[in-house]
């Protein structure tokens, strides 16, 4: 059974890594980054909900016994 020739593997792997690096650099260089992002108003808007104004009594479940 013939032996597998691995003499060119190092050259193949190194050229593949170099090619992938070059493609990644080209892809990143074409990406557009906003030079100056606009400031946004970060003030939170308070929403009116029914439970903000009234207090609701919380009852124990029926399975628990009363402690008092």
pLDDT score recorded for residue 32: 79
pLDDT score recorded for residue 20: 97
Is residue 32 within 8 A of residue 26, CB to CB? The reply is no
Q: Looking at per-residue confidence, does 37 or 54 come out higher? A: 37
Q: What pLDDT, in 10s, does the model give residues 17-52?
A: 999 999 999 999 888 777 777 777 666 666 666 665
CA 63/CA 65 separation, integer angstroms: 7
Instruction: Give residue limits of the domains in the chain.
Output: 1-31
Q: Looking at per-residue confidence, does 67 or 37 come out higher? A: 37
CA 9/CA 28 separation, integer angstroms: 28
């Amino acid at each position: 059974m013939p032996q597998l020739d691995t003499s060119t593997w190092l050259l193949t792997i190194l050229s593949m890594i170099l090619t992938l690096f070059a493609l990644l650099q080209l892809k990143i260089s074409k990406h557009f980054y906003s030079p100056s992002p606009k400031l946004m108003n970060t003030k939170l808007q308070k929403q009116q909900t029914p439970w903000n104004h009234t207090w609701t009594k919380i009852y124990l479940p029926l399975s628990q016994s009363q402690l008092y």
